[in-house]
Structure 1
Amino acid sequence: MTTASRRLLGAALALLLSAAVPVSAARADSEPAGVPQTVPALTNWSPGGGSYEYGPGVRLVADDAASRRVARTLADDLRAAGKGTVPVTGGPSRSGDIVVDVEPGDKQLGAEGYELRVGKQLEITGAAETGAFYGTRTVLQLLAHLDEIPAGRTVDVPQYKERGVGVCACYIHISTDWLENLVRDMAYHKLNQLLVEIKVKSDAHPEANSWGYYTKSEIRRLVALGEKYHVTIVPEINSPGHMDPWIQDRPDLQLVDTDGKAQPSRLDITKPEAFAYYKSLIDEYAEVFPADWWHMGADEYMLGSDFAKYPQVLAYAKAKYGANATPQDAFIDFVNRVGAYAAGKGKHLRIWNDGLTGANTVPVTPGTTVEHWLNVRTKPSQLIAQGHPVMNAAYSLYLVRGGFHTNTKKLYDEQWDPRSFEGEKLASRDGITGAKISLWPDNGRGETENEVAKATFLPLNHIAQATWGAPHPDATYAEFTARAEAVGHAPGWQDTTRVPVPDGTYTLSDRGHRTAPAGARLTRTPDGYVTIASADGTTCLETRSGKLTLNVPLEPGSAVTWEPCDAKDTLQRWQLAAADGGYRITSAITRMALDADTDGRLVQYPPDQKAPTTWALAQR
């Protein structure tokens, strides 16, 4: 029997079975009883008779190149999940197999939908490779908490095309391990877009390489992981505001006010050399980010400020657009010039919405995607009418490091969905691309990465549910929480809270030179790091010197010193990782390595600027 014939027969049987099997009297917006639990919840589930049991003879059957790519990724993840090594083979299939099939002619599935049929074998069908891949994510989730998968069928198609997470790795460096965990978990929950405001170490502008950057090799590795797991990595360099990571040492590009004071966070949009500088950054990012998107931010350029302090901006606008032009027109002009340049490189432009206040005569180029986070005069419905795809990036979906956290329970109980913007609720999904949660480092030392990961778990599950399917699959938030916990994390997700050594007092040494003569007391913190205290427990290693950025000391080479122990001080938390027969010790907050200078002085350095010290720990 051909795959198409099996699908037609399966569909007919499923319709008969669904008519014969009663559905529990659940709420209309909640998932019926008996549906296997996943996040997002399965839609249109038709139960069958019997079940599928994953056994030792299982094979992954795939007959074409696209199907085999999906099957090989599934094999990797089954192995990572502790399900053994499963061979990928061609047909015919047999009982117990998992069949992966990409059938381009199935238009009902679209680019990301899939059909799953569960019986004596599992059959996953997508009209495109991405759809088949998402079918395998459902299978992995089911195998994570079920010994046997009940028979049935579903056709599962997302409601929104953009299902995302935004991360500002723009000032405070976030470890690549953390970002890779996020990519895996996003894909596992069928989220498809990671939008990162991020600083790539520049070859063209070495003067801009203050710490917080990522090397191009690190970015290429992250992008490759995203490509494997169908997560598009969209880069952002926020401009023309928030440019201080790039122009703090370029006063010639900074906007200067009427008092002659330069603004290191504001690019002077009236200067041709400022636009040329920004274009060169786009060029360099294009080397490592193949995404068809460019995010330029465009937020908070003058929020809380007064254009009157910068008369050169109005002069520029009038010179270009006439006597009725406004200062805002110069800002929109910069946005449109960036959009045109990005389009020339095959990239679509994305911006935040707060700069679109309506105080302009020049329109933003239609087709520019607007991410709506702030309630200003120009509403989402107006943006859609003006020809802009709109993504919901509401402030209510924010997690601010050391500050505001989204109230996921409240959103779930209110049955929030992507039509609910700040200041406006739309009746239709038309023009809405989707939604994302956003992670911001406003107080960079307010929480550690592990604390942020824990806080993000349920918001990530919720945004996955609300952008893929019905926003309220369970009658209560407690039930939705239980669903998320049953599904858990993606295969290959690394538990970064594990500490490789037990609590105790150690001799801490570098190349045989003891740096803590009285011993160092290592104690695991609740979030999975260690404090390194003196033997009497009164002082702890801390990095606190140098220039602060978002309340974090980010100056390479700055001293690490012994300070009075404070359990609440995140700058006293360190991550241990086995390396070269010893351990690498990294600050939980600055993400710089603990190093010893030749004179024995303790300092912090980025790992690409100085080979990290390997520390020996001998328990006393």
Structure 2
Amino acid sequence: MGFEDLIPAPRKGWWVPPRGLFVLDEETVLCAGPGTERVAHWMRDVLGAATGLPFREGGAQNGIVLSIDPAMEPEAYRIVVDGYAVRLDGGSAAGVFWGAQTFRQLLGPHAFRRAPVDPARREWDVPGVVVEDAPRFPWRGLLLDVARHFTPKDGVLRCLDLMAAHKLNVLHLHLTDDQGWRLEIKRHPRLTEVGSWRSRSRFGHRASPLWEEKPHGGFYTQDDIREIVAYAAARHITVVPEIDIPGHSQAAIAAYPELGNADVIDTASLSVWDDWGISANVLAPTDTTLRFYEGVFEEVLELFPSTFIHVGGDECPKDQWRRSPAAQARIRDLGLGDEDGLQSWFVRHFGTWLNARGRRLIGWDEILEGGSRAPDGETTAPGLAEGAAVSSWRGYAGGVTAARAGHDVVMCPEQQVYLDHRQDGGENEPVPIGYVRTLEDVYRFEPVPPQLSAEQARHVLGTQANVWTEVMEDQARVDYQTFPRLAAFAEVAWSALPAPAERDFADFERRMAVHYRRLDALGVAYRPPTGPLPWQRRPGVLGRPIEGAPPNV
């Protein structure tokens, strides 16, 4: 393998003349400079398992030498392979780690296995190359929705390994929703005792849904989360938790009915929702609710060291607030004007609360609603707390508004990077939903809105692909929807690509022919480039119209 086969594509790469090989064998040592010890541990653990080589500690001769070069960008790396050594430098330990991921690709697909395929093989050839690389964006994210269908802890750890292999560095963990609460909160045990299980689950098309008549659920203990966060940190991945407020909260209300709008509905009769969509049951804007969630977030902050805490803030129906005397009194008392202003106040409260504790709020682009209007009629975002950031999912507009108002943005428009959406328009796609977004469509996605000025574009922290799991009941379905498109997304997030129309998709497909072998070695049940295999289809739910689905654009 050479640098021409790498994914994501590096900024620079060339052969060391004359083309030669460095040979890894039983005598190859690993020399970890100051600050690179954890990367060396990862290399011994992962590459040692795949190759069967010990990679003992040693000096620079016949060795792999890891070092930090403060003159480089923090996540940048440089690999030099010649006949004497492999030198891997990075601007920080993270840069060295991303270089190690590239080095793994240079070893070939078998380097992605957990044990040697040929135990008798004691030599591994590494091509003589130089690779210099650095990421385009500091936020290269993947959202994993564990609320709709629960992903056990081992599945999350596997997800982190797959992210690391693609140089993604933010796992957005969607922990709560109407259909389940997945995080142990010790001061509120019913959130998991009641809120983590639903009686059944829907599958199939909206036009003719089917039901799986068995309970579904699960949750992560706080020790599980500590393990996940530590595992991610060792791979230079930040875990950003999402606790949804004030909508998408029926599971919490089922556990603690006082959180709901009990003055207009019988909240005590609610259960964890067993359907998909947007529940009308939202949090009551009361002091009781605020204090409850402050307690939740106190435990969240103890578990997650991430700068950003995601609070959702999306798809909050206002009908119960319109009918609620308590909600209407709060609107009048605070001079908020309407229910959109009430939602903005609710979110802003937690933005200020998080700021006071050295953290930053991030939410879906609905948190922009309830702001004032500029003279030209465009919504501004003065209602957001200082330092709040926006996940722009309903297209580019939310990101543009936020960036122009001076707020940081993560671009994740559903029309481009929602990986639960269909990969093909054919009737044989398993439970096909949403827009058709092919591998090429994702590869041509551009995260920075063209209407932003250079100064405004600096507020684009990066981009994120979102994996919502309403129609993904197990790991195989998550794999099928996520891959290979996540490889294309990873290149968009990392590499300095030209404008979308000028991108060389044919070359990307050539490199993917190699990358599929890496995914095979990792055990990823990706969608084959030729289409779904018979076992990947789900009989009885295919080939019917999709009620309410957006057009294929």
Q: Quickly say closer, same or farther: Cα 1:453–1:425, change in 2 above 3 A.
A: farther
Once the two structures are superposed, the pairs formed by residues 370-381 of structure 1 within 5 Å of their partners are: 370-375=390-395, 379-381=398-400
Q: Quickly say closer, same or farther: Cα 1:410–1:284, change in 2 above 3 A.
A: same
Look up the equivalent residue of 1:440 and give its one-letter code. Answer: W
TM-score normalized with structure 1 length: 0.67
- Counterpart of 1:327? 339
- Counterpart of 1:502? none
Does 2:417 align with 1:397? yes
Report which of the two has the higher share of strand. Answer: 1
Look up the equivalent residue of 2:29 and give its one-letter code. Answer: R
- Counterpart of 1:36? 4
Q: Aligned partners of 2:267 and 2:351: how far apart in 1?
A: 29
- Counterpart of 1:544? none
Give SS of 2:5's match.
coil
TM-score normalized with structure 2 length: 0.74
- Counterpart of 1:193? 170
- Counterpart of 1:119? 82
Q: Aligned partners of 2:520 and 2:165: how far apart in 1?
A: 8
Does 2:292 align with 1:277? yes
Look up the equivalent residue of 2:463 and give its one-letter code. Answer: A
- Counterpart of 2:464? 436
* RMSD after superposition: 3.2
Render the CA deviation track for 1:455-481: whole Å, top value 9, x for unaligned: 312122112100111344553553243
Which of 208, 214, 224 does residue 220 from structure 2 map onto?
A: 214
Does 2:480 align with 1:454? yes
Q: Aligned partners of 2:269 and 2:349: how far apart in 1?
A: 22
Once the two structures are superposed, the pairs formed by residues 25-424 of structure 1 within 5 Å of their partners are: 35-49=3-17, 50-56=19-25, 57-64=27-34, 66-89=35-58, 91=59, 93-95=60-62, 97-104=63-70, 106=71, 109-120=72-83, 121-145=85-109, 148-198=125-175, 199-209=182-192, 210-211=196-197, 212=217, 213-256=219-262, 266-302=281-317, 308-310=322-324, 312-320=326-334, 322=335, 325-357=337-369, 360=372, 363-375=383-395, 379-395=398-414, 396-400=416-420, 402=431, 403-404=433-434, 407-412=437-442, 415-420=444-449
Residue pair 1:267, 1:274 contacting (<8 A) in 2 also: no
Does 2:513 align with 1:485? no
Does 2:467 align with 1:469? no
Deviation at 1:268, TM superposition (A): 3.7
Look up the equivalent residue of 2:364 and give its one-letter code. Answer: W
Q: Aligned partners of 1:38 and 1:373: how far apart in 2?
A: 29
Q: Aligned partners of 2:303 and 2:311: how far apart in 1?
A: 16
Look up the equivalent residue of 1:172 and give its one-letter code. Answer: H
Q: Aligned partners of 2:50 and 2:436: how far apart in 1?
A: 30
Look up the equivalent residue of 2:67 and give its one-letter code. Answer: D
Render the CA deviation track for 1:490-548: whole Å, top value 9, x for unaligned: 8xx56799xxxxxxxxxxxxxxxxxxxxxxxxxxx9469xxxxxxxxxxxxxxxxxxxx
Give SS of 1:441's match.
coil
Q: Aligned partners of 1:47 and 1:477: how far apart in 2?
A: 20
Aligned residues: 455
Q: Aligned partners of 1:139 and 1:327: how far apart in 2?
A: 54
Q: Aligned partners of 1:263 and 1:241: how far apart in 2?
A: 18
Q: Quickly say closer, same or farther: Cα 1:406–1:41, change in 2 above 3 A.
A: farther
Q: Aligned partners of 1:473 and 1:119: how far apart in 2?
A: 30
- Counterpart of 1:545? none
- Counterpart of 2:117? none
Deviation at 1:483, TM superposition (A): 4.2
Unaligned runs of 5+ in 1: 1-32, 498-524, 529-565, 570-620
Residue pair 1:329, 1:360 contacting (<8 A) in 2 also: no
Moved more, 352-361 or 389-398: 352-361
Q: Aligned partners of 1:567 and 1:357: how far apart in 2?
A: 42
- Counterpart of 1:513? none
Moved more, 456-465 or 424-433: 424-433
Residue pair 2:258, 2:267 contacting (<8 A) in 1 also: no
Q: Aligned partners of 1:165 and 1:406: how far apart in 2?
A: 19
- Counterpart of 1:595? none
Render the CA deviation track for 1:545-583: whole Å, top value 9, x for unaligned: xxxxxxxxxxxxxxxxxxxxx9669xxxxxxxxxxxxxx
Look up the equivalent residue of 2:345 and give its one-letter code. Answer: D
* Greater C-alpha Rg: 1
Look up the equivalent residue of 1:292 and give its one-letter code. Answer: T
Q: Quickly say closer, same or farther: Cα 1:487–1:330, change in 2 above 3 A.
A: same
Deviation at 1:311, TM superposition (A): 5.6
Look up the equivalent residue of 1:216 and give its one-letter code. Answer: Q
Deviation at 1:373, TM superposition (A): 0.4
